[in-house]
Amino acid sequence: MSTALITGANRGLGLEFARQYAAEGWRVLAACRDPSQAQELEELAKTAAGRLTTLALDVAGADSVAHAAQQLQDEPIDVLINCAGVMGAEHQTLGRIDYEDWLQVLEVNTLGPLRVIEAFAGHIERGTRKLIVTLTSGMGSIADNNSGGWIAYRSSKAALNMAVKCAAINLAPRHIACVLITPGWVRTDMGGPHATLTPEQSVAAMRRVFGSIRQADTGRFFNYDGRTYPW
């Protein structure tokens, strides 16, 4: 049985990843800050016939991430999906920047995924698939920024892209593929009700991309439909 570790699995895309992988017979390690407060995730665990296990993991806390990795000891993980993230305060543009909020967004969106990659790289190396996928955003693309705004969120994702690219180079000798993907504009709490994709559509498309990724693809930035996204 293949195993997937998913962060931010209590809502949105993370929850949908957990639902789809469990439905296909994977063992799912569904991580979030407080599983006891994640009602939808707990309901999913009840119907997953023992295939889904919740895991307390706060990507913004080094101790929390380390403890979660220690709980799993030497267990192999085939696919790690870094899904946890925050949008931050609205209207972050010049003259209206909340610097404290910006630091928190960087803590979760940029440092958080790298903490998880560092802590679980050994587990991934022991897996058969050896794949790390980090969800980023088209808003983190410098080439695709024609509207400005959302400085905290955009910068956190641009920095994340660079950090994961570096991680991909560092992990290549261990035969771990490490890629970035943007899920598109999705109808979640982040994306809002007018987005063009449902979580089911976005996750199904991304999972098809995951299935085609090989070691030679490490370090790439994908769109949810498999096309290369501009940096």
CATH H-level superfamily of 3-223: NAD(P)-binding Rossmann-like Domain (3.40.50.720)
**HEC assignment per residue over 6-22:** ECCCCCHHHHHHHHHHH
- Please tell me the chain's helix, strand, coil percentages from 3-state DSSP, rounded to the nearest 5: 45, 15, 40
Phi then psi for residue 64, to 5 deg, are -65, -45
For residue 1, give both structure tokens.
């049985």
Average pLDDT over residues 4-21: 98
Q: What residues form DSSP beta bridges with 228?
A: 222
CB atoms within 10 A of CB 145: 14
Give residue 90's pLDDT: 87
Spatial neighbors of 32 by CB under 8 A, at least 6 apart, are 7, 8, 9, 10, 14, 38, 41, 54, 55, 56, 57, 84
CA distance 215 to 229: 18
Phi then psi for residue 177, to 5 deg, are -85, 130
Query: What does the pLDDT look like over 64-105, one tens digit per residue?
Result: 999 999 999 989 999 999 999 999 998 888 999 999 999 999
**Domain boundaries defined on the chain:** 3-223
Query: What does the pLDDT look like over 106-141, one tens digit per residue?
Result: 999 999 999 999 999 999 999 999 999 999 999 999
Q: What angle do CA 132, 136, 142 make, to 5 degrees?
A: 130
For residue 19, give both structure tokens.
């639902």
User: Which amino acid, 68?
Assistant: A
Spatial neighbors of 73 by CB under 8 A, at least 6 apart, are none
Instruction: Give the rounded percent of residues in the chain with a pLDDT score beyond 70.
Output: 100
Crossing angle of helices 151-171 and 112-126, in 10° steps, is 30
* DSSP notation for 29-58: EEEES-GGG-HHHHHHHHHTTT-EEEEE--
Pair 80, 133: CB distance under 8 Å: yes
Give residue 192's pLDDT: 86
CA distances to 91, 103, 149 from 99, rounded to whole Å, are 13, 6, 14
This prediction has a pTM of 0.96
